[in-house]
Structure 1
Amino acid sequence: MDLKDFLEEKTSFYNQPDFITLDPISIPHRFSRKQDIEIAGFFAATLAWGQRKTIINKCLELMEMMDNAPYDFMLNHKESDLKPFLDFKHRTFNDIDTLWFISFFKDFFTHHESLEEAFVLGWRNEADIMGELLSNFHEFFFKDPNAPQRTRKHVATPKRKAACKRINMFLRWMVRHDDKGVDFGIWDKIKPFQLICPCDLHVDRVARKLGLIERKQTDWLTALELTERLREFDFDDPVKYDFALFGLGVEEKF
């Protein structure tokens, strides 16, 4: 079996509804409204480091604080409703970061219909546009001069050479569409072929073992290198192989 066939087989095996339960993507899957999915998904992806069980529990805690209606909460909360968030913390993500995210979403969704609008600033129908889009999103997210400096580290940008693994994972959730029921595919403008593979610890290790990455460090250029290799197998949907690489790493300890 060649590498493409191997990855196709593993992708089919892991890209199934069973995958959802133990993964942070289970958080946005609790919702059906587009804006709820976007907000819950963005928080879940942002908090996705550490043990998956802990990540999911912290996200559930956060959603509960928003009465399990994040979009409604963003638009209609009062100042007094923010008090419980002063006690929220996950690793280095604390109350200051949480309150800034809420402030951004409140302002954004007052004027915009979908979070995709924040990710398509400068969009063109080209394969290698994502670095520009993520850099533009980062600047947009922190355009307010009052934005806390410390929160910037929680929204990665290629300009700092970050691999941007969590934000690329979030984009996979929002953009990829198939009939498997895992990714949502609720965004239209960004195309699956423009996505960059989320290069987390497990994906990075497996990809190196399979000879898909040569670059020594793991940064934005590494994520681009991996995605370019995956485009050789499926140009239109290279990031579907994230299921295979992640599954091999986490479930099979490949």
Structure 2
Amino acid sequence: MWNAKISICSRNPDRKKAQEAKTKEKMTKAERFRPFFESLYEKYNKAEYVGTDPIVYPYTVKGNTEFVAFCSSCFAYGNVKAIQGFLMSFFSEFGTEPSVLEDKPTKLYYRFQKPSDVRAFILTMKELYDGYGSIEQAFASLGGSLEESLVNFVIHMKKRGAAHGGKNGYNFLFADPVKSGAKRLRMFLRWMVRKDQVDFGIWKNYDCKDLHFIIDTHILRFAYKNGIIKNDSGTRKNLDTVTDFFRQMNPDDPAKYDFAVSRLGIAFGCTYGADEKCISCAEKDLCPFNEVSG
């Protein structure tokens, strides 16, 4: 009798779907999303996709990787063409090694940063490398945990920048990590702490488990559309909520899926919800946030 029931059930697609739906209800949202994100990680978290991300600059610009990465992340706002144009001019004028930085007049500016702000940035970076040897050592000297070090680092950089004439444009480069998502600074930390085909992992004093997820426009859209956060603003509250969501999937490496998940929006125009684009999307069979494959 037991075997007969099993046989009938297995031949009944509606009952099978109902059982699958009940199983999904018992799973957390993070558990349901993890197989899809793992698939994206295996497919897109590769060096061949770095050209779609600001990390392309420390990959392609020869010099001190930490210095080039930090400068690139600080100025990674605006459209891609503008960022690239500024950074090429920046590294051409000031160099890619902190040891060659010097105080000199500049006419270089970028959006909110006036020439005086760019000069303040250079002088502060020179002072930091002369005093600590590296940004990692500055972090280690300014706090215990990665988060504490980041908070104190921002305070330090704003204070020293002001001493060198930096104003609002300079301060814009150093978002307050206590009140905001500080996405560019956290992007830099991901590059430095994590090690895989995309991230450099050259910092050895910190652990991946202490990283936060980078809440850029694409990640905020994903999290909001899928009911993880209540609005799509880049607040500290949303940063913690999104990070906690991804920490459920991978407690030891909560930022693991950042690059791969954001590729959907950056490279393929994904809206992270049911959309007409889903019909032709290569990921639709596993995708948990569209209704096309259901």
TM-score grouping bracket, smaller chain normalisation:
0.7 to 0.9
Question: Structure 2 vs 1, CA of residues 16 and 177 (structure 1 numbering), >3 Å: closer, same or farther?
Answer: same
How far apart are 1:229 and its partner, in Å? 0.6
Is 1:149 matched with 2:177?
A: no
Aligned to 1:71: 98
Number of positions where the alignment pairs a residue of Structure 1 with one of Structure 2? 236
How far apart are 1:137 and its partner, in Å? 0.8
How far apart are 1:208 and its partner, in Å? 2.0
Listed as ranges, the gaps of 5+ residues in structure 2 are: 1-30, 271-294
Question: Structure 2 vs 1, CA of residues 4 and 218 (structure 1 numbering), >3 Å: closer, same or farther?
Answer: same
| Structure 1 stretches of 4+ moved >6 Å | none
The correspondence for 1:51, drawn from 79, 85, 94, is: 79
Contact persistence 2:117–2:167 (CA under 8 A)? no
The correspondence for 2:127, drawn from 103, 107, 110, is: 107
Question: Structure 2 vs 1, CA of residues 234 and 32 (structure 1 numbering), >3 Å: closer, same or farther?
Answer: farther
- Quote the Cα distance in structure 1 between the aligned partners of 2:167 and 2:79: 27
How far apart are 1:32 and its partner, in Å? 6.2
Quick one: which amino acid aligns to residue 199 of structure 2?
D
Quick one: which amino acid aligns to residue 25 of structure 1?
I
Contact persistence 1:230–1:238 (CA under 8 A)? yes
**What are the within-5 Å matches in structure 2 for residues 1-254 of structure 1?**
2-30=32-60, 36-67=64-95, 69-74=96-101, 77=102, 79=103, 82-83=104-105, 86-120=106-140, 121-124=142-145, 130=147, 132-144=148-160, 146-147=163-164, 148-150=166-168, 151-159=170-178, 161-178=179-196, 180=197, 182-215=198-231, 217-254=233-270
1:156-196 Cα offsets, whole Å, 9 max, x none, are 1124x121010000111111112x1x211000112111111
- Quote the Cα distance in structure 1 between the aligned partners of 2:126 and 2:227: 44
TM-score under structure 1 normalisation?
Answer: 0.85
1:26-56 Cα offsets, whole Å, 9 max, x none, are 21123565xx111111111111112223212
Contact persistence 2:158–2:174 (CA under 8 A)? no
Aligned to 2:14: none
The one of the two structures with greater contact order (alpha-carbon pairs below 8 A, sep at least 6) is 1
- Quote the Cα distance in structure 1 between the aligned partners of 2:89 and 2:266: 25
- Quote the Cα distance in structure 2 between the aligned partners of 1:26 and 1:73: 23
Q: Secondary structure at the match of 2:200?
A: coil
What is the percentage of aligned positions where both structures have the same residue?
30
Quick one: which amino acid aligns to residue 205 of structure 1?
R
Specify the structure having the higher radius of gyration (Cα).
2
Q: Secondary structure at the match of 1:235?
A: coil
Contact persistence 1:213–1:226 (CA under 8 A)? yes
Contact persistence 1:27–1:60 (CA under 8 A)? no
1:66-98 Cα offsets, whole Å, 9 max, x none, are 24x332322xx3x4xx23xx2212211221221
Contact persistence 1:22–1:53 (CA under 8 A)? no
| Root-mean-square deviation over aligned CA pairs | 2.1
- Quote the Cα distance in structure 1 between the aligned partners of 2:74 and 2:222: 23
Q: Secondary structure at the match of 1:139?
A: helix
Listed as ranges, the gaps of 5+ residues in structure 1 are: none
- Quote the Cα distance in structure 2 between the aligned partners of 1:142 and 1:216: 27
